[in-house]
Structure 1
Amino acid sequence: MVCSDILAQVVLTSPGYAKDHVQKSPPPVIKNGLPTWWDTDSEADLAAARYEASQSSPSAEPKSKSRYDTSRGRTQASGDTARQGSTNTRREASRNGHAESGEVSAGITDAIPPVAAARVKATTDKGPPARSERSHSTRSPSFDAHAPPDTQPQSHIQPLPGTASDSQAKPMMYTRKPPTTPILLPEYRYCHTDGFSKPMRAHHCRACGTCVLKYDHHCPWIGQCVGARNHRFFLIFLFWALLFCIWTFSTSVALNARAASQRTFFNVDGQQVAIMALSGLFIIFTGVLVASHVDLIMHAQSTVESLGVRRMREREKRVLARLHPWWDFRGKRATRKQWDQEWGRIGKEGHPWWLGSARRNWEATMGDRAWMWFLPIGKSPDDGLSYELNPRFDNEGRWRPRKEWPKELQ
């Protein structure tokens, strides 16, 4: 009876839809697109790739537009052509003795986007770059005008962790470099399907065909999405469903064990065996869901946001594999500790919606009273519209290094 009431509460409670709170608006004007890392694949990064052409100079603008209006694969092909053209430019300039002139450097910068130049530099250079090659890693003026101070390195390199001298540097592929995509800007939150700028943490659900506030996932068991306003009820439903499955499994096993001691094995009811098997299977299923969602809520993350955290950790593992051999666990721990001292921890200080402690994160979704954690009564404290931004991030949603945090947090 309790589970049925909770299920009705989960099914009847809307997760919250952005269309009920946001009016339609024309797409925002993209002034400067920001390049992204070649090993990230977040939703904002894919959007940034479409707008990267606007950072090119006027002489290269027609080529950039035709290049980014097509698919991602064609973008890579045209990028390779641009890099080949820049190589020919450098060769021609070296023949004429003008390799270090400002005019030639401007042409090279326009031909190779900053990210492509960083990729070539990180994968090919072994020693200090020449003066003619250092111009590849400089960003265009339009990009620098909108990038924060922590995203404007002069040579796209940072000090090598664990080295004796800070002057020794390595490319970005050997450092922890969080994404620099301004995820809070309107152009990165605009939904072209619904025709409006989504509220913070809202995402478009393809199954429902609309944007859901603090979208977690679309659950076929309840027939709708799990979002800001029903996430609490969904976890309560999982908790009671887990208890019901445990009770069903334990009582079925006890009754059949006592009956088996009084008769032969072949007289055991097959339906009861099936109930035990199904209840045991659902114990595992619901138990994993309960544990995963408790962990997500305590880290102030949704399922979609946790995928971005996972990508950052996977990239960090690849970087550590480049820096240390597989058996050097102590060196990896030391490097990760140094990165944490410089940036903070991934998924905690490095999450834009982390509130500072697991308790505060839990109460923001489940409520500040214990009875709200187990009973589907009242409303969720999360309205899906207003969220407190982690002060370790700037106003555009970029993770800042520790030296730029507020003094009380350093």
Structure 2
Amino acid sequence: MAQHAEKSRRQELNCCAVMEEAAMRSRERRAKRKQKPMPWIVLKLAVGITIAIVAYTFYVYIGRLCVPMIRRDEGALGGRATGIGFLVVFCVLGLMMLWAYEKVVLTSPGLARDFVKKTPEPVVNTFVPAWWDSQRDLTGMPYQYMGQGEQPPEPTAADHEDGLQPPNGHQPNGHQPNGHQADGDAQAGMTDAIPAVAQARVAKPDAPAPQQNGSARKGPQNSRRVPETAVLRPENRYCWKEGFVKPLRAHHCAACGTCVLRYDHHCPWIGQCVGARNYKYFVIFLEWALLFCLWTFSTLVADQAKSGRVDAQKIVIIVLSFFFVVFTSSLLVSHMRLIMLNTTTVESLRSQSIRDREKRVLARMHPWYAVGAKRRTRKQWDQEWGRIDHEGNLWWFGSYRANWESVMGSYAWQWFLPIGQSPDDGLSYIPNPRHDPEGRWRPRREWPAKLQ
């Protein structure tokens, strides 16, 4: 019996080992697939689906709404003049939308590899405080500015307990210890990944700040904490996959497998990324797509309400057009806001991360009902640093109009017609002077005198 039990136990262990090995190999295969760009057919699949939906919409709208009115069929929504008018408006909106769609699909967003050369891997020695990647309190410590070539203070045992990483936390090959790349593209959009237990390790706001080295600059105890990563340093802009220092505001797209100038996001509906060279066409396409879907939805709903007869094909187009009205309107509003702030979808995650952490800090500083106290504290922070989306934006030009014209052009007709090129070439950017030469946000007292 003992031998039989031992044999069964060995078989069970062998079975578990085989299953664990199979799972490990499956994880390795998934990781390798993620490192490769998507196949061309997969990238362009949604483009074919979009064209098919538009073609079917033209068939239903013209053949089942406009033609019966032009022929003066019984039960039609209107007469011949109404049918011709509906047809003209529908075709104009549809053709303008297709023209803009063709421009955004066929125009390259701008690939960094076409403008920069391969360079050796830089030596990574940037000191990144771990409080920015954790739930540690953002207050209670003075602002610390690290100049080029200055050495950060040695972390104490308490710092290690709170998650502060040593300066040599980077691997010699330039990759992060957890396998993430130093350029941070793989981490885009990932926030609050630290377990909730880290919230218990919050320093008291009235605790004395630790003494820093000579580069420390004393400030208010309850001041805003901002990222201290020198984002403009070459080692923080180096693409480890393509082997060069990325141009300003460029990021690596995992789906396309390349770095894109002024990368905003990868859009499956156009089969490529939205970047510096096609961002203007993308916004113009959203404008005409919204008008096209609004016209289609409203006229078909009016036709169904008047006729009283349910046409299944018209109902399908009504549902699709309503979905795209909601989808395109939300996209258009969000991207108009991003343009007027002169930021991108990826860059806005940085500002949103600051706001989210400040909400948690304010919740710890004040009770939930102290709305006025929270507002006064935030106003104090804005007085010391400036607003997060404006003065705290590395690429803020100083006004909404200047930001808008830097992407869409100076003339109103350029905002609606998909012709010409955007003033933004994806290569020429002037950082906000409220930041230091390495891209770190400085307090108001360190701004140029004319900006204070």
The alignment partner of 1:38 has SS state of helix
Distance in 1, matches of 2:323 and 2:199, equals: 50
Secondary structure of the residue aligned to 1:34 is coil
Task: Return the match for 1:33 from 96, 105, 126.
Answer: 126
| Structure 2 contact 108–277 (Cα < 8 Å) conserved | yes
Deviation digits for residues 43-74 of structure 1 (CA, Å, limit 9, x no counterpart): xxxxxxxxxxx9688xxxxx979965497579
Q: CA deviation at 1:37?
A: 3.8
Decide which of 215, 239, 254 is 2:287's aligned counterpart: 239
Partner residue of 2:378 out of 323, 336, 344: 336
CA distance in 2, matches of 1:387, 1:332: 36
8 Å Cα contact 1:56-1:64 kept in structure 2: no
Cα deviation, 1:155-211, whole Å, max 9, x if unaligned, reads xxx53xxxxxxxxx4xxxx53111111100101000110100001000000011110
Partner of 1:399: 441
Q: Which residue of 2 aligns with 1:98?
A: none
Indicate conservation of the 8 Å contact 1:391/1:405, yes or no: yes
The one-letter code matched in structure 1 to 2:435 is: F
Q: Describe the shift of the 1:268–1:194 C-alpha distance in structure 2 as closer, same or farther (beyond 3 A).
A: same
The answer to whether the aligner puts 1:191 opposite 2:284 as a matched pair is: no
What residue in structure 2 maps to residue 283 of structure 1?
325
Deviation at 1:122, TM superposition (A): 7.6
Question: Paired residues, what number?
Answer: 312
Structure 2 contact 127–166 (Cα < 8 Å) conserved: no
The AA in structure 1 aligned to 2:286 is L
Alignment of 1:84-123 (within 5 A): 123=202
Quote the sequence identity (%).
54
Q: Secondary structure at the match of 2:313?
A: helix
Is the Cα–Cα contact under 8 Å of residues 263 and 275 in structure 2 kept in the other structure? Answer: yes
TM-score, length-normalised on structure 2?
Answer: 0.64
Q: Give the secondary structure class of the aligned counterpart of 2:335.
A: helix
Who is 1:380 aligned against?
A: 422
CA–CA separation in structure 2 for the residues paired with 1:73 and 1:6? 42
* Partner of residue 254 from structure 2, selected from 201, 206, 227: 206
User: 1:226-305 to 2 correspondence within 5 Å?
Assistant: 226-260=274-308, 267-305=309-347
Structure 1 residue corresponding to 2:269, chosen from 221, 235, 255: 221
CA offset digits 1:263-298 (Å, max 9, x no partner): xxxx41111112111111110000000000000000
- 1:349 maps to what in 2? 391
Specify which of 73, 96, 99 is matched with residue 5 of structure 1: 99
What amino acid maps onto 1:38 in structure 2?
W
Contact 2:391–2:434 (CA under 8 A) maintained in structure 1: yes
CA distance in 2, matches of 1:288, 1:120: 34
Q: CA deviation at 1:29?
A: 2.4
Asked if the contact 1:212/1:227 (under 8 Å) is kept, the reply is: yes
Match of 1:23 in 2: 117
Q: Structure 1: which amino acid aligns with 2:131?
A: W
- Say whether the 8 Å CA contact 1:15–1:213 is kept in structure 2: yes
| 2:183 corresponds to | none
Letter in 2 for 1:203: H
Structure 2's unaligned 5+ residue stretches are: 1-94, 135-150, 155-164, 180-197
Structure 1, unmatched stretches of 5+, are 42-53, 58-62, 75-118, 160-168, 261-266
Residue 195 to residue 287, structure 1, CA distance change in 2 (3 Å):
same
Displacement after TM superposition at 1:10 (Å)? 0.6
Letter of the 2:129 counterpart: T
What secondary structure, in the 3-state scheme, does the structure 1 residue paired with 2:252 have? strand
Answer whether contact 2:122 2:235 (CA < 8 A) is retained: yes
Indicate if the aligned counterparts of 2:249 and 2:262 stay in contact, CA closer than 8 A: yes
Residue 285 to residue 35, structure 1, CA distance change in 2 (3 Å): same
Which residue number in structure 1 is paired with residue 432 of structure 2? Answer: 390
Q: Secondary structure, in 3 states, of the residue corresponding to 2:273?
A: strand
Whether the 8 Å CA contact 1:39–1:315 is kept in 2: the answer is no
Contact 1:33 1:55 in 2 (8 A): no
1:77 matched residue in structure 2: none
8 A Cα contact 2:126 2:167, kept in partner = no
TM-score (norm 1): 0.71
The structure 2 residue matched to 1:316, chosen from 358, 361, 376, is: 358
> CA separation in 2, counterparts of 1:233 and 1:73?
38
Give the AA of the match of 1:311: S
Separation (CA, whole Å) in 2 of partners of 1:291 and 1:127: 42
Report runs of 4+ in structure 1 exceeding 4 Å deviation.
54-57, 63-68, 70-74, 119-122, 124-129
Query: 2 CA distance for matches of 1:26 and 1:71?
Result: 18
The 5 Å alignment of 1:104-183 reads 123-124=202-203, 137-139=210-212, 152-153=216-217, 158-159=219-220, 169=221, 174-183=222-231
Q: Which residue of 1 aligns with 2:144?
A: none
CA gap of 1:381–1:127, structure 2 versus 1, over 3 A, is closer
